[in-house]
Amino acid sequence: MGGTVLNVIAVLFGGTLGLIVGNRLSKRMQESIITSLALVTLTVGMGNAFQTGNPIITLLSVAIGVLIGELLRVDLGLEWLAGWLQARFGGLDSSKVDSSKVQVEDGQLSPRERFITGFVTASLVFCVGPLTMLGSIQDGMGLQEGFQALAIKSTLDGFAAMAFAASFGVGVLFTTLTVFFFQGGLALLGALAGEFMTTDMMNEMTAAGGVLLIGLAIVMLEIKPIRIANFLPALIIAPLLVAIAAALGIAYYPAL
């Protein structure tokens, strides 16, 4: 859990710094920062997606995962949590908010929508990726490699949190909750089942996460609205499919 705690501290520090300097950045500068993060997210996502040893596994995991996510409405759950946090700590009484009027006249995001956008977007960026998956599980297993991976991730997340907070505000700071519980859960998984996650299972989880990062980049670039949160179950489905294929004796072609 040491790597997760370090990650939380980095996000808090970066996000706080972003809040301090955010008002000094022009809207044009903030948009450029978000675009740069989106392009890097897209690049990382494409690299991760190619980690797969069998594209069919990625296809099935993403398709099945989003079906589950849509049925469970994971996106509404995250938005509700963000809205509750904003109402509780952001100085807004949610009972007096008209959800049909979340946009102000000049096209800018309202305080509520700005909070939710920052919380959901930053949560997905911080919690989806190979460093998150592999680093957290290895950290839970007590391996030094895991802590080192999360130390690198913490540095990257600190800078990203600063950029997100400058653009979206205080909602980014509350992503420390999702980072702590998500990565902490993975660390617990590593502690309980360190030998269960094979290399192939990790690769397919990484590949599915790469597809999600690509989708998130598309959202950040405002190309197309995608309910990326509803794709999150794919991260669980991917390693399960590998385990099922192995149990049934179905041939699997690992990456060379």
Alpha carbon separation from 172 to 8, 13, 23, 94, 114 (Å, rounded): 12, 11, 15, 19, 10
Give CA–CA dist 186/111, Å, rounded. 32
User: Considering all CA atoms of the chain, what is the largest pairwise distance in Å, rounded to the nearest integer?
Assistant: 60
Query: Which of 16, 239, 44 minimizes the C-alpha distance to 126?
Result: 44
Check residues 108 and 166 and name the one with the higher pLDDT: 166
Q: Quick one: 188 exposed, middle or buried, by C-beta within 10 A (0-12, 13-18, 19+)?
A: middle
Q: What is the pLDDT of residue 90?
A: 55
Does the pLDDT at position 212 exceed 90?
Answer: no
User: Structural domain boundaries of the chain?
Assistant: 2-248
Q: Taking all residues of the chain, what is their mean pLDDT, rounded to a whole number?
A: 80
Q: Provide the whole-model pTM.
A: 0.71
189 CB-side CA count, 13 A: 17
Structure-block tokens of residue 42: 């897209």
Taking only the tens place, the pLDDT of each residue in 175-189 is: 898 889 888 888 887
What's the average model confidence in pLDDT over 203-208? Answer: 86
Task: Give counts: helices (H), strands (E), the chain.
Answer: 10, 0
**pLDDT tens for each residue of 24-34:** 777 787 788 77
Give the pair of three-digit tokens for residue 132: 């998150």
For 239, residues 6+ apart whose C-beta sits below 8 A from its C-beta are 197, 201, 202, 204, 205
Question: 160-171 burial, b if ≥16 CB within 10 A, otherwise e?
Answer: bbbbbbbbbbbb
Q: What is the pLDDT of residue 8?
A: 92
